[in-house]
Amino acid sequence: MAHGDLCHIGLFTTDTEKTKAFYSSLFGWRFESIPGFETYAMFTTPAGLGGGFDAGPRAESPIDKGPILHIEVEDIDQTLERIEEAGGRTLAPKTKISDAFGFFAVFIDNVGNRLALWSG
């Protein structure tokens, strides 16, 4: 990593097991248990970006405002269907950005975090 690269994403959850199941099944994220951090679900995306979902006593509630993280997928419509089946919901359906920049959609995960999908 270089100076200025994103190195860790911190998100909140009310249920680490539900969150692990949601992101691992939909996006292939890998989760790691760290002794002493039972309320913090560390993840790594397929490209290697890492972060964690905090359910500890100092954690805030999941949030549907602020910056939006975009997750790259092959098929936005199919992924939105799977998100809803897994307990999430669509906020903005597949929307064209432009010919050069592809499409996006916005969703709420199964614990209340707002994120987005992107495809070319």
List the pLDDT tens digit at each of the 120 positions of the chain.
Answer: 677 788 999 999 999 999 999 999 999 999 998 898 899 999 999 999 999 999 999 999 999 999 999 999 999 999 999 999 999 999 999 999 999 999 999 999 999 999 999 999
Phi/psi class of residue 59: alpha, beta or left (left: φ > 0; alpha: ψ in -120 to 50)?
A: beta
pLDDT for residue 1: 64
- Give the tens place of pLDDT for each residue, 63-77: 999 999 999 999 999
CATH of the domain at 40: 3.10.180.10
Host domain of residue 69 = 9-119
112 domain-assigned = yes
- The pTM for the full model equals 0.91
Tell me how many domains the chain contains.
1
4 is a domain residue: no
